[in-house]
């Protein structure tokens, strides 16, 4: 079946998992796994947008990941900064818009500044939108949305699902149609909880660094064969 005839999701979310296990399997330090995972984000984004998907989200650092070792967190922050600075030209060359979803708490000022500049520098790109979930937690996103609504003068006793949706991080990003988790784990791990209400779920045994363009095509093909009724 050709890519032109399948029923494509508008938004595909990836739970990036398995970088450290990939490194261990190959006898490498954890950082090498994260670096391989970092490179995979670019490759998977190309494959996803080449297929015609409009939005891709990737869970790159959760609010719980601060619990990891100081050295590992430092290495991850270095990769995040690299993405938003020295490698930013890649996303402009690929015509991909970057958005960042997550809390600013605990994020250092240099990275905060780089995020603002990266979003500004790519805002006119039209091939697709890559939403990076950084310092992100789905429960926290919902709590922050309620706070934002109340702080703007809203009545908490009459809050609606639409009110919450309009106050999420980057509320213009649509619900996730398909969530793909790598490395064989079968849970959401606090990813896109509000936007995932009707998401189709797929669990891939491969670790994230091993995901290929063919894996993306296969997942999209499987999605096109599923029936989505939204409770009807």
> In the CATH scheme, what is the code of domain 11-224?
3.40.1180.10
pLDDT range class, residue 4, cuts 50, 70, 90:
very low
pTM of the model: 0.93
Catalytic one among 17, 19, 135, 177? 17
Strands in 178-181's sheet, in edge-to-edge order, are 96-101, 128-136, 55-62, 11-15, 178-181, 200-203
β-pairing verdict for 178-181 and 128-136: unpaired
Look at the chain and count its residues: 232
CA distances from 56 to 21, 110, 111, 143 (A): 24, 25, 21, 23
Is residue 170 within 8 A of residue 101, CB to CB? The reply is: yes
pLDDT tens-place string over residues 202-217: 999 999 999 999 999 9
Q: Is 108 a catalytic residue?
A: no
Catalytic one among 19, 43, 50, 65? 65
Average pLDDT of the chain to the nearest whole number:
95
β-pairing verdict for 11-15 and 128-136: unpaired
pLDDT tens-place string over residues 43-84: 999 999 999 999 999 999 999 999 999 999 999 999 999 999
Average pLDDT over residues 75-94: 97
pLDDT exceeds 60 at position 5: no
- At 197 the pLDDT is 95
- Which residues are CB-neighbours of 172 under 8 A, at least 6 positions away? none
pLDDT tens-place string over residues 125-173: 999 999 999 999 999 999 999 999 999 999 999 999 999 999 999 999 9
The full set of domain ranges for the chain reads: 11-224
Q: Is 19 a catalytic residue?
A: no
- At 232 the pLDDT is 64
Helix extents (H) in 127-176: 138-151, 161-165
Query: What is the separation, in whole angstroms, between the first and last Cα of the chain?
Result: 28
């Amino acid at each position: 079946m050709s890519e032109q005839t399948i029923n494509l999701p508008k938004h595909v979310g990836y739970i990036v998992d398995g970088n450290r296990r990939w490194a261990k399997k190959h006898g490498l330090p954890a950082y090498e796994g994260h670096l391989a995972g970092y490179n995979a984000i670019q490759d998977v984004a190309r494959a996803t947008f080449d297929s015609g998907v409009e939005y891709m989200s990737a869970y790159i650092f959760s609010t719980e990941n601060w619990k990891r070792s100081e050295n590992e967190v430092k290495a991850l922050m270095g990769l995040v900064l690299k993405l938003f600075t020295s490698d930013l030209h890649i996303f402009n060359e690929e015509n991909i818009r970057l958005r960042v979803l997550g809390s600013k708490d605990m994020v250092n000022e240099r990275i905060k500044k780089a995020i603002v500049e990266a979003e500004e520098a790519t805002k006119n790109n039209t091939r697709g939108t890559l939403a990076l979930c950084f310092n992100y937690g789905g429960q926290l996103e919902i709590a922050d949305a309620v706070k934002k609504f109340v702080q703007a003068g809203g009545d908490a006793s009459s809050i609606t699902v639409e009110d919450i949706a309009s106050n999420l991080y980057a509320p213009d990003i649509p619900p996730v149609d398909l969530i793909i988790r790598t490395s064989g784990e079968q849970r959401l791990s606090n990813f896109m909880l509000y936007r995932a209400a009707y998401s189709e779920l797929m669990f891939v045994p491969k670790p994230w660094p091993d995901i290929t363009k063919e894996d993306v095509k296969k997942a999209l093909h499987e999605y096109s064969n599923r029936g989505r009724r939204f409770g009807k």
